[in-house]
Amino acid sequence: MHMSVESTVGAALSLKGIHAAREQQNVLLRKVLDSQAQAISSVMDSIPKLSVSGPVGTRLHVTA
């Protein structure tokens, strides 16, 4: 199969455009994921911390 110079250049330009579009999508995805991470972090920070010492809230007593 013989490809002409024009078709080779056209294919290269098409691939370059596809690469640029994917890069824009990746940038948008990163921004969305960063935004979601910040939202989750703020929710997690607002939850009261559990006790890690003392008799209340640190032991599980089970009676069968």
pLDDT tens readout for residues 26-40: 999 999 999 999 999
Within-domain flag for 6: yes
Within-domain flag for 62: no
Region of 49 on the Ramachandran plot (φ > 0 left; ψ -120 to 50 alpha; else beta): beta
Within-domain flag for 63: no
* Spatial CB neighbours of 11, under 8 Å, sequence gap ≥ 6: 3
Within-domain flag for 54: no
In this prediction, residue 27 carries a pLDDT of 97
Show the domain range for 11.
1-43
Whole-model pTM?
0.57
